[in-house]
Amino acid sequence: MKKLLFLSIFIFTLSCSNKKEAKKVVEISCGQCQFALDSQDGCDLAVRIDEQAYFVDSFNIDDFGDAHAEHTGFCEVVRKAEVSGVVENGRFKATSIKLVDDLE
């Protein structure tokens, strides 16, 4: 019985782990201003992974400063960031974002 319980817990743990989520350096910017995404209005945070752009969930475009700042804002420049998360339903579900460029 203990072996069956251990096996069940092990299988459940494996099924809950997200193997697709890994840290990766990507381009990050405004989806509308820099990546030509037009599926929603206004300025919204997006990442470009392997030449495909996705709007970001869980973070806001102004979480990293003024999006319209002339030399550092996401609506003005494309930046680099180390991100963790997964692409689901055409959106990037971010769990972490850390800017890695030196524009600041």
Distance CA 48, CA 81 (A): 10
Q: How many CA atoms lie within 13 A of 25 on its CB side?
A: 5
Distance CA 79, CA 69 (A): 13
Q: What is the pLDDT of residues 44-93, one digit of tens each?
A: 999 999 999 999 999 999 999 999 999 999 999 999 999 999 999 999 99
Distance CA 48, CA 70 (A): 21
What integer pLDDT is reported at residue 103 of this predicted model?
A: 79
CATH of domain 21-99: 2.40.50
- pTM value is 0.79
Percent of the chain at pLDDT > 70 equals: 80
What integer pLDDT is reported at residue 14 of this predicted model?
A: 47
pLDDT at 15 over 70: no
